[in-house]
Amino acid sequence: MHRARAFFFVCAGIFLLTVVGCAASVYSQYFTSTIPASQRAETNSTTIPYVGEPEVRSGEDPKEDYITMLENGYALVGYSNFNGPPADPAGARTQARALHAAVALLYYKNPQTVTETGPVVDLLTISSAMASNMGDVLNPKTETTKTSGTIYGGGGSVDYSGTSTRTVAGEKAAPQAPQMRTYTSTRYDQFAAFWVKTKPPRLGAIYRDLTPDERAARGTNKGVRVDGVIMGSPAFVADVFRGDILTKVGDVRIFQEEDMYSALDRYAGTEVDLVIERGKVEKTIRVRLNPTPK
């Protein structure tokens, strides 16, 4: 019986550790990196690994928060996306710590009420059943059978009698149908964004390629659109704003993001003219770029 109890508690411990482990790792289980493997070395050179306790807080609007975090000098290193009951924020903190991220923003959207029917888990009943079954194995019983009769043959008949003994396991209790219970829970679409602090950027404008509609509206394929400006950056100091269209950096004409990368590599650490369009007006702005981060 003592062995049965010990066996039960070991199994129960493994069960609880499994449940706790799953809850704590949901953010890592569904994590997706936003940095391609080919760019991780470059990203590592432009970010500052966070060594303190990460900040975990609720986000408001993922799209607007994305721009705001970029403007405050953070880079998105990855996200976790899943559906279920509200996950423990401690798991997000653990994942942020593993990524050396400074901030984790958590989002809970689209609550759904889910009704499920399942068996009632009674640990005392389980332990009793396990102990009973283990007792049957550890304490076998002896079964004796008596036989007698008469054998007939050509020369007459012979009476006989005897006994036989065998060892058998004890009879197990007949299984009982589990009790069922209906559970109601609320599940959410959950999203966690992990942010790491960046080193001072060369320009500090957050730009993107123009859409086909934007190109058609402007009547040209030239330019990239500024969707945000990092606080305190050279672009911020030079009064570059959201919505500006960058068309030229120094002598480099800009048609797409790759042209910006080439221009910033060329002019990093120097003063250079930016040509922008703001509304229908073209302007030239003088700006001193930061050196390329090392």
Split at pLDDT 50, 70, 90, the class of 203 is very high
pLDDT in tens, 10-45: 343 433 333 334 444 799 999 999 987 766 666 677
List pLDDT tens digits, range 237-278: 999 999 999 999 999 999 999 999 999 999 999 999 999 999
Which structure tokens are listed for 150? 């008469």
One-character DSSP codes across 59-128: -S-HHHHHHHHHHTTEEEEEEEEEEESPPPHHHHHHHHHHHT-SEEEEEEEEEEEEEEEEE---HHHHHH
Calculate the average pLDDT of the chain.
81
- Confidence band of 116 (pLDDT split at 50, 70, 90): confident
Please report the pLDDT score of residue 5 as a whole number: 43
Domains annotated for the chain, with CATH where assigned, are 2-116+184-198 (no CATH), 205-288 (2.30.42.10)
pLDDT at 6 over 50: no
